[in-house]
Amino acid sequence: MAWDYTDKLKEHFFNPKNILEIPEEEYQADGTGEVGNIKCGDMMKFYVKIDKKDGKDIIQECKWKTYGCASAIASTSVLSEMATGKTIEEAVKITPKDIAEVLGGIPEQKFHCSVLGDKALKAAVEDYYEKTGNKDKIFWKKREIICKCLDVDRAEIESLYHNDGVDTIEKLQQKTKIGTSCGQCLKKAENLLEELKSSSSPHIS
């Protein structure tokens, strides 16, 4: 199968921005987040430095490392650029669709790569909140997890169902790779899809 990569995606793959090139222990990050599973092929780690300005938390620097494909590298690279200079509140609102749009599109088979970058950034932000005693601001780690290996939660599946018409386990796996590691979550994911089908109809925006 031939996958078409945009010029923007190839640019970030061949010349990725903001990679952490020094040993991790030498980089004094304010928050670190890791998501993914090396068994399924993609793992990402984000490091953020936060600057306080006018009472707001600004992401001064955003570094990363990833084990993954061209789409994983490119989507993480562009996300690091998008998040730098933003407040935490602005940065955590960056969606996988936002990342894909900046890259000019991501092959459907590789869309899950942009989801991992989004999650790694949120994990780094919440690590910063924990370290600075702001646990009341933590929201992401309180989710209902469906797939532990790939960190897929109920809200993500519900969003894909209602906004992208993801109404089968095959479509869900294409978007998230859910169940491709240990497979223990598949039945739970299937039950959730059936629950959604019984209560509403998918809507594609």
* From 62, 113, 147, 185, the catalytic residue: 113
Structure tokens belonging to residue 29: 């990050």
Nearest to 65 by CA among 111, 33, 106: 33
Nearest to 17 by CA among 58, 101, 78, 107: 78
What does the angle CA 152 – CA 155 – CA 157 come to, to the nearest 5 degrees? 60
Examine the residue annotation and report whether 147 is marked as an active-site residue of this protein.
no
Give the chain's radius of gyration (CA, Å): 17
Examine the residue annotation and report whether 185 is marked as an active-site residue of this protein.
no
Q: How far apart are CA 169 and CA 189, in angstroms?
A: 7
Residues marked active site are found at 40, 113
